[in-house]
Amino acid sequence: MMVKHLSLKTVFFAAIAVTSLTGLLMVAFCASDPTVRKENDEHEFRIAALEKKIENLQSGAKHEFVEVRKLNYKDRKRILVTGGAGFVGSHLVDRLMVDGHEVIVVDNYFTGRKKNVGHWIGHENFELIHHDIVNPLFIEVDQVYHLASPASPPHYMYNPVKTIKTNTVGTINMLGLAKRTRATLLLASTSEVYGDPEVHPQAETYWGHVNPIGPRACYDEGKRVAETLCYSYAKQENVAVRVARIFNTYGTRMHMNDGRVVSNFILQALQNEPMTIYGDGQQTRSFQYVSDLVDGLILLMNSNYSQPVNLGNPEEHTIREFAEMIRDVVGGKNSIVNKKAVMDDPKRRKPDISLANKVLGWKPRVSLADGLRKTVAYFKKELELRTGDPVKAFDLSQVL
């Protein structure tokens, strides 16, 4: 039998024909599958959005930014915000940008999201650097807001060694940068340095009651060491430091399933799921809205006070009361269920903010009711934008 040798060109076009036929058959099959059709619609929507962005870029369309103040060179500062794409960090960035400063955000996106600061990308005063502060950073700045660290139990316990490194090695790197550039560094510390307190409310003079080998220790002790490092650099190297001990904070841009009380309760209430309380629900917390915290951080940074300062809302509620408040804001009728208490969960937490009021003139202004309404509206919008399976509240019993 004689076999004719086909030209490379003939083989090429034959392959294209077979591929095209296969593609048509796949499209026909997919068109009959509702799930695949839905996925295709989502892909087409995203492609259309990308095409629109490309078209805007090609046409030279300019992004519209929020109006910012015009500062002269004496008043304008170059400010570094580590963890600036996170929940608190992104709100701080917004305020600093609107105030007219040049802002550099450094984030490794472990818990932060680029979309939180995406509205500033392209602005002449803004710079975003994808970087992990466990590695040294060499830039020139006037101030450093050191916020980088996972802050919710599921996140900081996901990789406890990395959490410790971020709060120790990362803090050393930022203090070294502040030393070299003669910048002022503000450390975002935490009320967790007080542990499960035996003193109530907690003032800055209280040394704390912390389990050094418990599941929360990677964060609690990491922040305690970070504070020690700050004051060691201040004493030995004359670095100007500020330390904010931040109590429970909530608001827009919170991570949907970060395992915190607020996000868990709101997610469960909006999705008509039972609201989960760990323990009997009589443990207390105090919650401040994120804009109040940002006010306090900026006031502290620009003050002459260098000792630790509590920033929190002294309005104290039990966890059960808080669940009921969120359910009322949502307007649901969710049941409230109790699960086994988690290890080392503080029984009471309330800040004494008399020092912040005295040295900074600061106190929270946003009421719990107003803050919850804003936060619930944000979560509701986020859920509407999502497709697929519902977002589940994080089960703390998995990690604690």
E strand spans, the chain? 78-82, 102-107, 126-130, 143-146, 184-190, 241-246, 249-250, 275-278, 284-286, 288-289, 309-311, 316-318, 336-339
CA distances from 61 to 22, 126, 145 (A): 40, 19, 33
Q: Determine the length of the chain.
A: 400
Q: SS3 of 151, please?
A: coil
Return all residues near 32 (Cβ < 8 A) that are at least 6 apart: none
- Taking the CB of residue 118, how many other CB atoms lie within 10 A of it? 13
- Tell me which residues are annotated as active site: 219
E strand spans, 17-136? 78-82, 102-107, 126-130
E strand spans, 108-178? 126-130, 143-146
Cα 167 to Cα 37: distance, rounded to the nearest angstrom = 47
Cα 300 to Cα 243: distance, rounded to the nearest angstrom = 8
Structure token digits, residue 19: 């591929």
Q: Given the DSSP bridges, would you call strands 284-286 and 316-318 parallel, antiparallel or unpaired?
A: antiparallel
| Nearest C-alpha neighbor of 188 from the set 231, 230, 243 | 243
